Structure formats: structure tokens, C-alpha cells
Chains A and B, each alone.
Chain A
Amino acid sequence: MAKQPAAVVGVGQTHHRAKREDVSMAGLCREAIDRALLDANLTLDDIDAIVVGKAPDLFEGVMMPELFLADALGAAGKPLLRVHTAGSVGGSTAIVAASLVQAGVHRRVLTVAFEKQSESNAMWALSVPLPFNMPVHAGAGGYFAPHVRSYIRRSGAPNHVGAIVAAKDRQNALKNPYAHLKNPDTTVESVLASQMLWDPIRYDETCPSSDGACALVIVDEDTAAASPNPAWIHGTVMRSEATTAAERDQVNPQASRDAAAALWKQAGITNPVEEIDAAEIYVPFSWFEPMWLESLGFAEANGGGWRLTESGATAMDGRLPVNCSGGVLSSNPIGASGMLRFGEAALQVRGAAGEHQVDGARRALGHAYGGGSQFFAMWVVGSEKPSN
């Protein structure tokens, strides 16, 4: 049996904040789930299966929290799966949920990804000393800063390109009612004036630490017929590579390039920069926008990415609007961040992105990565049913 068509008909997310002390983990998830079901015009009774995703359990201090959450998530009496693929998990979780429909196993699947970092201490959770492992003691920014420096050296990028990304995404976030950071005064100049944290990454070029959740309702062709604006899934891909190996190119990892090539092929896309109308790319530090633009094939390697960003092409009104939602730079509930990218891409092609809608968006990319730039999850969604 061939792959069955699947579509996103409901997208929900929480208001992302540093600390959501007004809700429990269950309450946080239900805030996103209830919005997604409302959007899909379905109830929990209509749902066949639930797929949960989140990053490390040490972030909340609960081992496999989906077990105690099962009832609150509406999973009681149903199949429940829990995915964990590091930072890419929000994307991977959506892909697993989609595969339940594409495999013909279920017709209506609910997927939710969350992180409630304020329950625990993420920095501690990432810094447990490990035998026979060199301690990094640098946080994610310290880990990725050398990759950024390497990119700048290779590509000859001017120093302000990262600031252009940060200012753009923070301005985009003002149009997203759910975004965590709302800093109307952020400009390229103010970003460049902010504290240097991990050279060349400045404070305003880093993502926040957020509590938040995202939920999607993914359904089969028959169910999607009742939706006024389904986002059809045109392609999904996951790729992984090793953390440490001498031959790795951590600036432009092979797993990323392989994933993009497979994705564009599945979706029947030959010229991504022309054929993709909006992209939600996982950019936790500003410089990753030009880096991923190159790796994904939107621009030539070693310089095409920063030129595209510098030209304004990735702004809301540009040729390839990137992270109109404000992106990871404006909201980062880690386990949910990937699903937010996938969900925001769906909102764009459904014409449901509100103030940050790209006019007439027909095909959009959702992208997530994790670990030491080694786990990748991506999808392409479209307003039209895929022909393949």
C-alpha cells in the first residue's frame, strides 16, 4: 500500500514565557492541545492516538512524564508514543505522528511537544559530569560559538549579519501573540551594542529559555475534506550523524545536506528559494540563519546565506521570509521549539498565521535540529494536495 496523504488541520500553542507558574505540566500541554482541537473542529474523543515529544527528562525532573500526563493528554484508552531526539524532537515527533496517518494505521492523530524548563534547571540538566567525557561547561552558546566563528571565517561574512537576523526575528515576534520576547526597541544597532557572551555571539543574538507547548492535529484525506484549509504534508525527513568525528563539518553537516536533498526530492522541489514561500528554520543563535540557508540549499555555500540575509530577502516582505513567527530567537520551549517551526509552517500555508502571515504562501518549510548539529528533522507542507 502506498503512503496515505496526511494533512495538518489543527495548530495550537501556548503563550510562551520564562516561567508559566500559572499552569502545571498538564495544564501547559492542555492549553496547546485545546487550541489545536478547537482549530481542527475536533474533540479528544475523535482522536485515535497521541504522540508526545520533549527534550531530556532532566529538564523537568520527571522520568517519562507522559506516563503521569497520559490522562490529562486524553491518551487514556489510546496508544501513546513518546519521542526524544534532542533539540530536533519537536520536528521528529510531528513526523512520527504524520507517519501514523501515512502508514494507514490511524485517521486522526494528536501530537504535542512541550518543555517546562522552570520546573527544573536546564543548565544543570545539561551539565551532569560524565565519566570519560570532556566537560564543556559552556552551555549551548559556548558549544556553537566556534562553529559560528568558523562560518564567518569561511564565508567572509561581515560582523553585523547576525544582528540583522536578531533584529528581524524580534520585530517579527511583535506580530505573534504567543511569542515570549516582545522587545519593540530591538534594532541592528541595539543588538550590536548588547553584551558579548560567546564571541561572536552577543546576548541579543541568543534564544530565551521558555516554558511552552505546541500541539498539532494530523488527519487522513477523508477527515481533511472537512477542513477549510488543510496543510498537506508534501515531504518529511530525519537524518542523524555522530557527535564527534574528525571528518565532520559542523558548520554545514552532511546529515543536514542529505536531509535537505531528500526532502526537496520528496516534495518535488528543484529550486527551493523560488518554490518555498515561507520558511521556519531552527535558529537558536542568530548566525544559524545564514548557515542553515546554505546547508538547506536556499543559497550557495560559503557566503550565499549571509548575502541573502543581508539583502533583506529573509524579512517578512522579502523573497524568502524566514521565521515570521519570531522563531526560536523569540520563544524557546526546547522540546516544543521544533514543533512550533513545523506548526508555524502549516499556519502559513493555511493562511492562518494572522499578523505574521506571508501573503499567498503555498508551500512552507518546517525545520529543526538538535544535539551538536547532528540530528535533523524537516517537513514541507503545502496548501495543495501533493501530486506524488
Chain B
Amino acid sequence: MRDVAVVGFAQRQMPEFDGSPTCVELLVPLFAECYEQTGWSRGDIGFWCSGSSDYLAGRSFSFVSAVDAIGVIPPVNESHVEMDLAWAMYEAWLKIQTGEVDTALVYAFGKASAGVLRRTLALQLDPYTMTPLWPDTVSLAGLQARAGIDAGAWDERAMAEVANRSLTDAEKNEYAIRKGGSSVEELLARPMYADPLRKHDCSPVTDGAAAIVLAAGDRAREVRDRPAWIEGLTHSIDPMSMGTRDLTRAPSAARAATAVDLVGVEVAELHAPFSHQELILRRELGLAGDVRINPSGGALTGNPMFSGGGIRIGEAASRIWSGEVSKAVGHATSGPALQQNLLCVLGATTEGARN
């Protein structure tokens, strides 16, 4: 495999974006930041790939307008996934691995506030047997949290600890839209939202966008002294059916973890839109007790749909660039109750990448 690294990352997160659902106005400054970080211009990008959802935008072909943000005259080598940024990055990584290109800029966007997100996401379910009942995302997550509590896999205190740590860490993240830790006791005293979930157990509805730049070999080294080399990139999916899954587990996350080497990971940015889902992921990934989880504050403090997963990878990469850590993992999820999971292991040297 070729040595490929994350060398650029830019993000925006906000409670309500005052602009169009195509988010073109958000994307243009993000690309400018990526050019500034890399010293490149549009012509240096070998491949473009975006992630977004037509249902979030309330229209067909929402990505078609978004390519205007690139300025696609002359034409570009470009693709789109109806998935999170992390999977757009996966497609770009593939393209670089084929040897066709050496660089890629991937981006994703979503204006979740344009509709009622928890109802919009109900349209992701089985249209014949589930969607007609309109079970919304928060309620489904509540069922999952309750299943874990009943099984003794976690309790409300463990969930509150996740939320408190996240809200405390978010104070240092300028993009987080919910921040401010207090104490586990204080959080547990707050009212229920979707029993056993309290508001702070659920990621806030977030608008936003993000972009990641990938580069191979020397193209990466010319951009940064410490590129975040991709040591492992893998993903897997489980069946959706809520009635037949053990909701306290995420087999696809565990399977992804077996395909990469997580030994020595110092930081894990986990895409857990609900507090108990972080507990599931920590177990499935088998992360050691000293692994720092979500120093950015994680999805509980800001979760823009379709870029929330990729942002975890960008946050993990930032900590490699800064020299803070030498090995980190970024995780992304998609689908109800952790149905689909992706892991991206990043390291400060190419040795791990070659293993």
C-alpha cells in the first residue's frame, strides 16, 4: 500500500446555519483554509469527494450545487457518497491507493436544523415495517440505552461521566456548540428527555461542514513536518433490524477493530452521538484504560450530520500534527444505533503504515 496521510483539516459547527442547505457559503471558506494549510491551490488537488444527504437538504441532488464551491471550471475528477465525510475520505484514499492521483480534498456538509432531525432520520429505517411507525432517532437510542442498563452493561452514572467529561473538554473547542462541565451529580439531577436519556446524553442538533486533505508520500511531507499517516482504514456494517440485534453491542465496530492495530493508541476520537454509545464503542474497540477519549468534546458537544464522523478523524490528525501524540484513532458511525462503523488509525511515522 502507498503511504497516505491526513495533511489538512477545517471545520465549522453551529446550532443554526443562516444559509442554504447546500452549504456552499460554508464550504468556500473551508477550502480556503485547506489551501492555506497546504500551500496548494485548486489545481494541486487530484481528486475530490463529498458526503451529504439529499433528505437532510430536503431536495434531490444536493451535492450538485455544492460542487460550485470547488469552482469546477475547468472540470475536476470528482465523486460523491451519500454517507459521512469519513467514507468520502475512504473513497479518496482508495483513489490514491490505485496510483491514479497523489492528493485529494474531501468534504461534507449538512444543515440538520432545516427540518426536525429526529423525524428526518426515521426515514432511514425499513420503509415497509418500521418507518410507518415513525420511531425517531432519540427514542431508538433511548431503547438502546435502556437495554444496556437492564443488561447491567452500564448505568446512568457511567453515562453522566461520559457527558461531564465531554462538556468539560468542549470548553477548549471553539467549534463545540454545547459546553460547560459541572458534576456527575448535577447532571444526574437534570430532567429526563427520553428516559433514560437526558439532554446532555444526546448530541445537539448541529449544522456544519468539514474538509480533509489527503496526500501520498512526499506530497504529504512537503505540507507538514509531522503528517498524520494512515496506518489502518477499515469499516463494516451490521444488519439494521432493531428487533434481532443485541443493542448493547456493535459487532461491526468490533470487526473493524480486528482489522487494524490499536495497540499504542493514545487518543481515540469516537463518534458517539449518545453517551452510552461511547461506552459500547470503548468495549468493542478494547481500548486500554489510559487512552484519552474525545479530547475535542466529541459528538455530544457538536455533531453536524454527515461531517460529524470525519471531524473525529480530523481532530485525531490535529493531535499528531501538533506532536501531542504519536498514535491516534478516529471513528465514524452511520445508521441507527451504531449500525455502521469506520476506524482510521493515524500515526506519526510511516513505519506503522507499512506494517
A93-114 contacts to B (CB < 8 Å): 96, 99-100, 102-105
Report the separation of the CA atoms of residues A254 and B75 in the bound assembly, to the nearest whole angstrom: 7
Tell whether, in the assembled complex, residue B124 and residue A63 are in contact, meaning their CB atoms are under 8 Å apart.
yes
Judged by a CB distance under 8 angstroms, whether A134 is at the interface is: no
Given the known A-B contacts A82-B83, A85-B80, are A68 and B126 also in contact in the complex, defined by CB atoms under 8 Å?
Answer: yes
B238 touches A77 (CB 8 A): yes
A76 touches B239 (CB 8 A): yes
Please give me the residue from chain A that is nearest to B99 by CB atom.
A3
B237 & A56 in contact (Cβ 8 Å cutoff): no
CB contacts under 8 Å to B, within A318-375, are: 371, 374-375
Within A224-273, which residues are at the interface with B (CB < 8 Å)? Answer: 237-243, 245, 247-248, 253-255, 258-259
A61 at the interface (CB under 8 A from B): yes
Interface flags for B256-296 (1: CB within 8 Å of A; 0: not) read 00000000000000000000000000000000000000000
Residues of chain A contacted by B80 (CB below 8 angstroms): 83-85
A62 at the interface (CB under 8 A from B): yes
Task: Across the interface, name the chain B residue whose C-beta is closest to A240.
Answer: B78
A67/B252 contact (C-beta < 8 A), A80-B237, A96-B79 known: no
Q: Is A243 touching B334 in the complex (CB atoms < 8 A)?
A: no
Looking at A125-133, A163-171, A184-192, A285-293, the stretch in contact with chain B turns out to be A125-133
CB contacts (< 8 Å) of B75 on chain A: these are 239-241, 253-255, 258-259
Q: Please, how many angstroms separate the alpha-carbon atoms of A67 and B337 in the complex?
A: 12
CB pair B99 A1 closer than 8 Å:
yes
- Please, what's the 1-or-0 string for B48-85, where 1 marks a CB less than 8 Å from any CB in chain A? 10000111001111011101100111111111111100
**Is residue B198 within 8 Å, beta carbon to beta carbon, of the partner chain?**
no
**CB <8 Å contact, B61 and A56:** yes
CB < 8 Å neighbour of A128 from B58, B125, B236, B238:
B58
Residue from the set B61, B90, B100, B238 with the largest chain A CB neighbour count within 10 Å: B61
Task: Please pick, from A1, A65, A77, the residue contacting B236 in the complex, using a CB distance under 8 A.
Answer: A77
A92 within 8 Å of B by Cβ?
Answer: yes
Interface size class of B (residues with CB under 8 A): 35 or more
Given contacts A67-B335, A71-B240, contact A104 B1 (CB under 8 A): yes
0/1 interface trace, chain A 47-78, chain B, CB 8 Å (1 if under): 00000000111111111110110110001111
B76:A239 contact, CB within 8 angstroms: yes
Q: Which residues of A contact B71 (CB under 8 A)?
A: 242
Question: A44 on the interface (CB 8 Å rule)?
Answer: no
Chain A: number of interface residues, binned into ranges: 35 or more
Docked Cα-Cα span, A238 to B65, in Å, equals 18
Q: How far is B89's CA from A274's CA once the two chains are assembled, in angstroms?
A: 39
- Is A79 close to B, CB under 8 A? yes
Q: Which single residue of chain A is at the shortest CB-CB distance from B129?
A: A68
A18 on the B face (CB < 8 A):
no
Determine whether A86 belongs to the interface, using a CB cutoff of 8 Å to chain B: yes
CB-nearest residue of chain B to A256? B75
Docked pose: A151 CA to B99 CA in angstroms: 38
Which 9 residue pairs across A and B have the least CB separation, nearest first? A103-B97, A56-B60, A255-B75, A71-B239, A240-B78, A63-B55, A241-B75, A63-B123, A84-B82
Q: Taking beta carbons and an 8 Å cutoff, which residues of B are in contact with A?
A: 1-2, 20, 48, 53-55, 58-61, 63-65, 67-68, 71-83, 87, 90-91, 94-95, 97-100, 120-121, 123-128, 130-131, 234-241, 251-252, 255, 334-336, 339-340
Identify 8 new A-B residue pairs, CB closer than 8 A, beyond the known A84-B81, A239-B76, A241-B76.
A63-B121, A80-B235, A96-B79, A103-B98, A105-B97, A241-B72, A241-B75, A258-B75
11 residue pairs of the A-B complex, CB under 8 angstroms, read A61-B123, A63-B123, A64-B55, A67-B336, A68-B126, A71-B240, A78-B236, A84-B81, A84-B82, A86-B61, A241-B75
Residues of chain A touching chain B, judged by Cβ–Cβ distance below 8 Å, are 1-3, 24-25, 55-65, 67-68, 70-71, 75-86, 92, 96, 99-100, 102-105, 119, 125-126, 128, 130-132, 237-243, 245, 247-248, 253-255, 258-259, 371, 374-375
